[in-house]
Amino acid sequence: MTVRLLALLWVVGLPGVAGCIHPRADVPYVQTPHEVVAQMLWLAGVGRHDVVYDLGSGDGRLVIAAARDFGARGVGVEIDPRLVAQSVESARRAGVGDRVTFREQDLFQADLSSATVVTLYLTREVNLRLRPKLLADLTAGTRVVSFNFDMGEWEPAAVVRVDVSGRSTPVYLWVVPAR
């Protein structure tokens, strides 16, 4: 399943560099380019009062950038322990080790109650599976940003397009509504 998915992602040209697939991962490890990381955090309006969760946090780049460049606190949720260890070390080197946390956990099991911003680079299928949890667990007003993949009929509040290796690629923003 995951091998077929990785092959498909390569075929459709998912932006980033595919690395490895953890046996329990729903999505392969593909990095968000650094310039897109900044645009995602900017689109979400991240500031020093925010707690930014990256679900499937890879090498930790979104969480680390949120802390280092936007003054936020951050939590990365990642199923691959090697990537969690790499993220912890990168955060320490970036001088934000005290502002970020990385959890080795399935993102579908994560406690999101303290998030004010959630960042995603998954797939459309995983976004759709995750959508009910986001709408149930997140406080109204929480911003959700996704690189490249939408949320079906949940209409975004904004879409910006970023250039990734010559391809115009969408970044979506949603704001969790009041129940």
Judged by CB under 6 A, which of 5, 6, 15, 30 binds ligand SAM?
30
Span interacting with ligand SAM, options 66-74, 78-86, 152-160, 171-179, rule CB under 6 A: 78-86
Is 127 one of the binding residues for ligand SAM (CB under 6 A)? Answer: no
Strand order across the beta sheet in which 167-175 lies: 100-104, 73-78, 51-55, 117-120, 143-147, 167-175, 158-164
> How many of the chain's residues bind ligand SAM (CB under 6 A)?
23
Distance CA 26, CA 100 (A): 24
Is 27 one of the binding residues for ligand SAM (CB under 6 A)? Answer: yes
Instruction: CB nearer to ligand SAM: give 25 or 46.
Output: 25
Judged by CB under 6 A, which of 64, 72, 75, 79 binds ligand SAM?
79
Is 162 one of the binding residues for ligand SAM (CB under 6 A)? Answer: no
Binding site for ligand SAM (CB under 6 A): 22, 25-27, 29-32, 54, 56-58, 61-62, 77-80, 83, 106-108, 121
